[in-house]
Structure 1
Amino acid sequence: MPIRPSSRWSKGVGAMARAASPLTALKREFKQKGEEIIDLQAGDPVIWGHINQPLSESLLQAVEEGSHMYPGSTDWFGRLREAISSFERVERGIDCSPKDVILTPGCAAAFNVLHYTLLDRGDEVVCFEPYHYLAAPTSYFSYFGARVVSCLTDESKDWEPDLDELRSRVTDKAKAIFVNSPNNPTGAVYRERLLRDIADIAGEHDLPIISDEIYGLITYDGVEAESTAAVAGDVPVMAISGMSKFFVRPGWRLGYIIFHDPQEKIAEIQDTMRRVATAYGHMTSCIPTPILAAAARIYKGSIETGREMVEELQVRRDFTFKRLNEIEGMSCTKPQGALYAFPRLEEYGEVWKTEEDLLSDLLREEKIALDTGSWYGKSGKWHFRTLILPEVPILEDAYNRLEMFLKRHT
């Protein structure tokens, strides 16, 4: 008799397949054949030449100092928590202390630890779509028997959430409300008043907020992305961030959860999550000691390198917004933050059944890889996600090819 895998995982394999973009396999096939692809899928700043030299120097210093022992044998965990709490107070306005910071090996791990701690069978997390949360972090919700409840946003109002729908979607099964600003994939930035309104609704139902703030310091045109944790009042917030984007270190796998809980409404959750994170660290080998040491120094230092990158990105954002809106049959809201644009295509139903079919043909014919909009929720239908990370000549080449492709087929 064969030994079978856990039913909790095997039943969810179909849903978990969403954790990989639908076009990734096709793109990989072309790359294995030596085809040159303009890959506008992964939001990885390093691939497109963005660097953070002070971080590299800090890591070399840690290595030269001999930071090769087990992390638990050092004081770097405590020093990094202290550095992060100070950084978040100054740069994001979050009133937190080192004890409010839980370190994880990457933001994905932060989501994992949070979900393992928070969710039981039948629980619901309410979130706004389109959002990357639907595409990957919730792909294993079936393991818990939990589910995501989606609320729509208004594209004509720069993807602003519908608060009346939010109220209608919160039931007694809800365990949390999820917020992401600046948003992946739309680039929308929620203003302080909107975040306060969302917090008020969460407070009415005694719910915590999960806030993805990894793009919090990547904004354009002088717009500031307020931290939900800084404006939520007495509503508890679990804010997730890390080093992948602004600090240009996705491969370092360093993330964290910050607790804002002035009335200790979720103190038991925080205590349990800290223990879950410790166990998770054992399972994943934790954050390497040299990276802990380097990060602790960087979070206490200057962030000018990151700000210079954002200035470069604004130029590329401006070009992307202008060029996409010049293509017939396409429109795009102006991203106010993050690393992406999320343009809308006309429904080319006579040629393609879905935007995934369109983008598959685009990849085959023009060797341009883009993410399908439906991957980010139903409201992403006939959209695609593209990057603003590459230099302008690369973006120009990609969108010229896209324009010629659409003209050829329509």
Structure 2
Amino acid sequence: MEPQQPQQQQQPQRGDWARVPASCVARRTHNPLRTIVEELAIQPNPDKHFIALSIGDPTTFGNLRPAPEVVKALHDSIDSGSYHGYGPSVGHLEAREAVARYSSTEKVHVEAKDVVLCSGCSSALDLSITALASPGQNILMPRPAFPLYRTLAESIGVETRSYNLLPENDWEADLNHLESQIDENTAAIVVCNPSNPCGSVFKKQHLKDMLSIAARHKLPIIADEIYEHMVFPGHEFHHLASLSEEVPILSCSGLTKRFLVPGWRMGWIIIHDRNGLFDKEIRKALLSLSQRTIGSNTLVQGAIPAILSNTPQKFFEDTIKVLQDNADLAYDILSEVKGLRPVMPQGAMYMMVGITVTLFPEFSSDLDFVERLVSEESVFCLPSQCFNYPNYMRLVLTVPKEQMEKACKRIAAFCQRHHQDYLSKRISSVSIT
């Protein structure tokens, strides 16, 4: 008798190679800023030098550079030979200790165990949102807002709800509107202070009012504080965590902006949790999530203690002076332009400028306005639809002063040409002729 052959298991048919489907996360990932910018017809006037007031990278123009002490710290880290390999997923202990010292205040004591090092502040925001919110839940974010919050949340199936910021109140949050967006599925509130794109710096009482809402609804806060201390004279930055003993907060920051090294990709999360509300699950969640990328840049980690302790105060003051001088210059010029409403910033690197579109009848939106501004004057500002807030544009304040002045004068000339008063006179002149 022939031995019985084992039956071969029938393999499921997978069809042909017509396509390889993308994952749900990939299909849900969408960056509205990139989408809008890539669809704009950006064709500068070839007869005019192109000035980009659109890029949130302070190093782009070469006038703002990291302090020599910062560069030396990285050289020393490389030369030490101690940071070429993998480190702990949350970061080397000495680097986390340095960040803890840097982030501690008279009212808030931070320890190394409260610090998670990340690959830039964007990664810190990613880990924070992913740790706190699950598919089907929602998080609250400001409007206008840095669009990455939406990109990160919606990619994992988390809804974003916007609460309004008020330009007439220096972009403070509409507290009633904020509270009205909260429901039983809300997982966290995102607070960006100092603000991108608004350049606002919230007053202490306003932050306390926001914290009161969070406490009333038992909601943690994700504090985007990457522009911490980048504040103009006469204003004061307050860490959210210094104003509450009740609300648990994940504060996201890093070296990127204040130290002028965005490409070094070094950010961090500071866990502020005086009542142990994050102890059971969130601390473990952040550790687990950080293990997906096996930690941040170890060479920069090796430099962090020297960077945070050796960078002179004058370096920060000089950077702030450049930003404020440009803000003053832009505000002085643009506030005299019919149809524009600049809102004077209090810090960060940006100014929002309102556009009364009805006074420019050739344009249907801020997108049209920006496209024509580029084609005629070779000045590129981001349309505020990138930040879910139409009829404004965002100016970056990090350019050299002479370029800032030239750009603002070009904007003024452009507005004068296209303002309805000028157009009416031109039409009347043609009709008479």
TM-score, shorter chain, exceeding 0.5: yes
Letter in 2 for 1:198: M
Q: Which 5+ residue runs of structure 1 have no aligned equivalent?
A: none
Q: Give 1 or 2 for the bigger CA radius of gyration.
A: 2
How far apart are residue 188 of structure 1 and its match? Answer: 1.1
How far apart are residue 117 of structure 1 and its match? Answer: 1.9
Partner of 2:117: 103
Letter in 2 for 1:213: E
How far apart are residue 346 of structure 1 and its match? Answer: 1.0
Decide whether the 8 Å contact of 2:384 with 2:391 is kept in 1.
Answer: yes
Q: CA RMSD in A?
A: 2.4
Partner of 1:114: 128
Q: Deviation digits for residues 224-272 of structure 1, max 9, x if unmatched? A: 1101111122110000001111110000000001011011112211221
How far apart are residue 127 of structure 1 and its match? Answer: 2.0
- Give runs of aligned pairs for residues 57-72 of structure 1, distance below 5 A: 57-72=72-87
Letter in 2 for 1:259: I
Task: Please state whether the residue corresponding to 1:170 is helix, strand or coil.
Answer: coil
Letter in 1 for 2:192: N
How far apart are residue 25 of structure 1 and its match? Answer: 6.1
Partner of 2:231: 219
Decide whether the 8 Å contact of 1:94 with 1:227 is kept in 2.
Answer: no
Q: Which of these residues, 8, 28, 53, is aligned with residue 40 of structure 1?
A: 53
In structure 1, how many angstroms separate the alpha carbons of the residues matched to 2:161 and 2:101?
A: 34
How far apart are residue 34 of structure 1 and its match? Answer: 11
Partner of 1:244: 256
Partner of 1:338: 348
Partner of 1:56: 71
In structure 1, how many angstroms separate the alpha carbons of the residues matched to 2:108 and 2:175?
A: 24
Q: TM-score, normalised by structure 1?
A: 0.91
Decide whether the 8 Å contact of 2:48 with 2:377 is kept in 1.
Answer: no
How far apart are residue 126 of structure 1 and its match? Answer: 1.1
Q: Which has the higher helix share?
A: 1
Q: Give the 4+ runs in structure 1 shifted more than 4 A.
A: 24-31, 33-36, 73-76
In structure 2, how many angstroms separate the alpha carbons of the residues matched to 1:237 and 1:332?
A: 32
Query: Given the alignment of the two structures, is residue 350 of structure 1 paired with residue 366 of structure 2, yes or no?
Result: no
Structure 1 residues 361 and 74, CA gap change in structure 2 (3 angstroms)? closer
Partner of 2:36: 22
Q: Deviation digits for residues 164-214 of structure 1, max 9, x if unmatched? A: 112211110100011111111111111111111111111111110010001
Task: Please state whether the residue corresponding to 2:285 is helix, strand or coil.
Answer: helix
Partner of 2:25: 9
Count of residues paired in the alignment: 398
In structure 2, how many angstroms separate the alpha carbons of the residues matched to 1:37 and 1:27?
A: 14
How far apart are residue 311 of structure 1 and its match? Answer: 2.4
How far apart are residue 409 of structure 1 and its match? Answer: 2.2
In structure 2, how many angstroms separate the alpha carbons of the residues matched to 1:295 and 1:35?
A: 42
Letter in 2 for 1:277: S
Query: Given the alignment of the two structures, is residue 313 of structure 1 paired with residue 352 of structure 2, yes or no?
Result: no
Decide whether the 8 Å contact of 2:333 with 2:412 is kept in 1.
Answer: no
Query: Given the alignment of the two structures, is residue 329 of structure 1 paired with residue 339 of structure 2, yes or no?
Result: yes
In structure 1, how many angstroms separate the alpha carbons of the residues matched to 2:107 and 2:226?
A: 15
Q: Which of these residues, 131, 134, 159, is aligned with residue 145 of structure 2?
A: 131
Task: Please state whether the residue corresponding to 1:179 is helix, strand or coil.
Answer: strand
Q: Which 5+ residue runs of structure 2 have no aligned equivalent?
A: 1-15, 420-433
Decide whether the 8 Å contact of 1:23 with 1:369 is kept in 2.
Answer: no
In structure 2, how many angstroms separate the alpha carbons of the residues matched to 1:403 and 1:197?
A: 39
- Give runs of aligned pairs for residues 7-406 of structure 1, distance below 5 A: 7-12=23-28, 16-20=30-34, 22-24=36-38, 36-48=49-61, 49-51=63-65, 52-72=67-87, 77-90=92-105, 94-132=108-146, 135-267=147-279, 268-279=281-292, 281-282=293-294, 286-304=295-313, 305-348=315-358, 350-377=361-388, 380-406=389-415
In structure 2, how many angstroms separate the alpha carbons of the residues matched to 1:136 and 1:381?
A: 17
Structure 1 residues 240 and 74, CA gap change in structure 2 (3 angstroms)? closer
